[in-house]
Amino acid sequence: MSDAHPRAPGAARMVALLGNPNVGKTSLFNQLTGLRQQVGNYPGVTVERREGSVSVGEGDLRLIDLPGVNSLAARAPDEQVAVDVLAGTQEGVSRPDGVVVVVDAARPRRGLFLACQVMEVGLPAIICLNMVDEAQRDGAPMDAAALEEALGLPVVATVGTSSDGVRSLREALADDAFRIPDEARLAEIPGIQGLPPPSLERWNRLREVVDAGDLADHEVTARYAWVRGLLERVRPDRDADRRRSDRIDAVLLHPLVGPLAFLLVMGVVFQAVFALADMPIGWIEAAVDACGQGVGSVLPDGLFNAFVVDGVIAGVGGVLVFLPQILILFFFIGLLEDSGYMTRAAFLVDRPLRSVGLSGRSFIPLLSSFACAVPGILATRSIEDRRERLITTMVAPLMTCSARLPVYSILIGAFIPQQTVLGFLGLQGLVMLGLYLFGMVLGALAAFVIDRALRRAGSVPSILEMAPYRLPGARSVAIRLWVRGGQFVKSAGTVILLMSVVVWALMTFPRTEDVGGDPVARAEAQANTAAGRIGKAIEPVIEPLGYDWRIGIGLLGSLAAREVFVSTMSVVYAVEDTDDEDETTRSVGKAMARARWDGSDRPVYDLATVLSLLVFYAIALQCLSTVAVVYRETGSVAWTAGQFLGLTVLAWLCAWLTYILAV
């Protein structure tokens, strides 16, 4: 095959790691590269690109971890990227010198089907027979030597979650052991006869097969029959009545016990993300506060001091405060994926989610979004189908995150009566529950609409295969946390920091003379800032919702983070800060209850306005950190802006309707 994107003279050899989803490919990549890896997106697409450096002999080679695919007859964006890289037509990526095809030794059918396609197009390859320990435990060991003889390709046995066999794979890479099978072996594969020699023309052959309807079904059936015959030669004692994974699945996939176990596991994950992060978040906030106070005491008073302390240091804190939730989330995701339970969880919730265009793989990102949308959106990377990943990203902010709770608490606590319904249900608690359910229902409706819109451009069927249960590898999980955490800080964190500084500037300029601790003077100074002026400018737009310009300042301040609404209102209504956060919140609520429209005795916060504001915050994307992460994950200004503007318009319409009905 010709090099569409040839390497520069002297550049390191490049090897591609190819395999089905859930075959331990990423674990192998981590074992081979360690921390010498980087994560990004392919040029022009939002499919993840993982590339690392592997020490072999006296030099290095580049190892690229291709997206998990089921076929080289590309139908999904991820599959198309893999095909483009292997064919040398992907922008910014030279064609690999060889391909390591990772096959799950315990579940080899799909892997060998993919391997026969690699053989068909004539790619120099090595077969990596991974998870041989599980095949051994299942009573179905694979004869690697017999497989090598049958395929005419080198076969290396490995265990991806440990270092077993990785040295042999590294040696094969160092020796450049990649081979193309001879024509005699190729002729055994159904459909090969009559084709030209291995070349790029065979990609067209695969494309024709996938579009050929009955012919495609016939040929796929024939190929899998060939795989079955191959397995009979290299693994004759495969059939056993019960395997270890099958016995576990008999419990975890049971119609009654399975869902209960699933709820227990997901509850642990949810509570861990929500609760275990509290202490490290407190440490980070305390460290940021101490840093701000220390730096502020050294720098001379003035604008530069305020910029460094309130803009830069507070902005860095706004980035780091998400790290505990992100690391805890990806720790549990790593355990669930590497253990094999993630696929079972996806299977259990797959049917109800498919009714709105999602699948079981969307569940954990959406569940995590109840704690915070930022780690929830980052968790969508576990979703293989790009369309489903995009839909999940778009609707994740509609899940009621913990940042909304301070807003809900102050509004519900101050303005919703403390009375019971049906004699035992608290009205305030019902309102809070209703907001959670409202977000979930709206998210389902939004997913349904987006799914129908995207399906016009074609959809890709997904495949769920139950990988065998395995013990997660500590090194692989640790590397995953290090890479993901560093990626968030370097990529999304820079955007979050910039946005935090912009919001600080809007709420600081134009500056007035030092007002000291006078709360009334602070409120007047806040009204004179750019944020205050914008609040007054947008009052005609938000007045139909029952909001005045002071609520407009709160909405603008909430762009940094929703919970900023409470502290912004404390400034707007000239409330003295106290060391007791609950007392400050109660004082803000009382001040809001006393607020009147300018020039009248009309209360700003009547029941209709409060309900309207609750609905607005339940929908609107009042979180620039989430906006930054959405842009980072989609790589699209259009989708990011569309999500922000769409949710803002939807929030306005629903809040307006709520206000009209409640007046």
Q: In what side-by-side order are the strands of the sheet with 98-104?
A: 37-41, 48-56, 59-65, 14-19, 98-104, 125-130, 155-157
Tell me the pLDDT of the chain averaged across its residues.
78
Rounded CA gap, 385 and 388, in Å? 5
Choose from 101-105, 553-557, 598-602 the range with maximum mean pLDDT: 101-105
Largest CA distance in the chain: 93
The three-class DSSP label of residue 16 is: strand
User: Which candidate, 374, 431, 417, 339, places its Cα nearest to that of 631?
Assistant: 374
Helices (H) and strands (E) in the chain, counts: 32, 9
Angle separating helix axes 564-572 and 549-557, nearest 10 degrees: 140
- Determine what percent of the chain is predicted with pLDDT higher than 70: 76
The residue-averaged pLDDT of 291-299 equals 86
Q: Which helix (H) or strand (E) holds 387?
A: helix 386-395
pLDDT at res. 414: 78
Q: What are phi and psi of 56, to 5 degrees?
A: -135, 120
Task: Specify the residue for token string 């695919």.
Answer: 69
> Does residue 236 register a pLDDT over 70?
no
- 136 forms bridges with which residues in the sheet? none
Q: Cβ distance 489 to 304 under 8 Å?
A: no
DSSP code per residue over 457-487: T---------PPP-PPPHHHHHHHHHHHHHH
- Which residues lie below 8 Å from residue 170, measured CB to CB, with a gap of 6+? 32, 54, 55, 56
pLDDT at res. 596: 83
- Which residues lie below 8 Å from residue 605, measured CB to CB, with a gap of 6+? 414, 415, 592, 593, 595
Q: Which one has a higher pLDDT value, 237 or 232? A: 232
Rounded CA gap, 131 and 468, in Å? 9
Q: What are phi and psi of 50, to 5 degrees?
A: -115, 125
34 torsion bin: left (phi>0), alpha (psi -120 to 50), beta (else) = left
The residue-averaged pLDDT of 85-105 equals 86
Residue 568 burial (10 A CB sphere; 0-12, 13-18, 19+): buried
Ranges for all domains in the chain classified under CATH 3.40.50.300: 14-240
By DSSP bridging, strand 125-130 and strand 425-426 are: unpaired
Rounded CA gap, 556 and 559, in Å? 6
pLDDT at res. 229: 86
Q: Tell me, what amino acid is at 190?
A: P
User: Which candidate, 353, 379, 186, places its Cα nearest to that of 273?
Assistant: 379
pLDDT, tens digit, 9 for 90 and up, residues 256-278: 888 888 878 876 776 676 567 77
User: Which candidate, 585, 591, 375, 562, places its Cα nearest to that of 485?
Assistant: 375
Q: How far is CA 64 from CA 8, 41, 98, in A?
A: 17, 12, 11
pLDDT at res. 642: 93
Rounded CA gap, 286 and 453, in Å? 46
Q: Which helix (H) or strand (E) holds 127?
A: strand 125-130
The three-class DSSP label of residue 253 is: coil
- Which residues lie below 8 Å from residue 330, measured CB to CB, with a gap of 6+? 375, 378, 379, 480, 481, 484, 485
pLDDT, tens digit, 9 for 90 and up, residues 99-117: 999 998 888 888 998 998 8
Task: Specify the residue for token string 């820079």.
Answer: 494
pLDDT at res. 593: 82
Token code pair at residue 337: 């994926």
Q: How does residue 346 score in pLDDT terms, banded at 50, 70 and 90?
A: confident
> Does residue 238 register a pLDDT over 70?
no
How long a stretch of residues is the chain? 663
Q: How far is CA 36 from CA 27, 32, 52, in A?
A: 14, 9, 5
The dihedral sign for the CA sequence 177, 180, 186, 189: positive
pLDDT at res. 388: 86
pLDDT, tens digit, 9 for 90 and up, residues 10-69: 567 889 999 987 788 888 888 888 866 766 665 555 567 788 898 887 678 899 998 888
Preceding amide of 510 cis, omega within 30: yes
Rounded CA gap, 413 and 362, in Å? 33
By DSSP bridging, strand 420-421 and strand 425-426 are: antiparallel
Rounded CA gap, 110 and 175, in Å? 28
> Does residue 585 register a pLDDT over 60?
no
Task: Specify the residue for token string 């052959």.
Answer: 205
Query: Cα(first)–Cα(last) distance of the chain, in Å?
Result: 72
Q: Cβ distance 562 to 617 under 8 Å?
A: yes
Rounded CA gap, 1 and 652, in Å? 57
Token code pair at residue 116: 């026969």
Rounded CA gap, 62 and 350, in Å? 37
- Determine what percent of the chain is predicted with pLDDT higher than 90: 14
pLDDT at res. 99: 94
Domain at 14-240, CATH from 3.40.640.10, 3.30.70.1450, 3.40.50.300, 3.40.50.10470: 3.40.50.300
Token code pair at residue 322: 């998400």
User: Which candidate, 182, 197, 233, 191, places its Cα nearest to that of 209?
Assistant: 191
- 596 forms bridges with which residues in the sheet? 603
> Does residue 528 register a pLDDT over 60?
yes
Task: Specify the residue for token string 């806040």.
Answer: 526
Q: How far is CA 68 from CA 210, 263, 629, in A?
A: 18, 28, 23
Q: Cβ distance 496 to 319 under 8 Å?
A: yes
Q: How does residue 248 score in pLDDT terms, banded at 50, 70 and 90?
A: confident
Q: Cβ distance 610 to 411 under 8 Å?
A: yes
Q: Which one has a higher pLDDT value, 574 or 321? A: 321
CB atoms within 10 A of CB 150: 19
Token code pair at residue 362: 């969307």
Rounded CA gap, 380 and 329, in Å? 12
Q: What are phi and psi of 647, to 5 degrees?
A: -70, -35
Residue 244 burial (10 A CB sphere; 0-12, 13-18, 19+): middle
Q: Tell me, what amino acid is at 408?
A: Y
The dihedral sign for the CA sequence 293, 299, 300, 304: negative
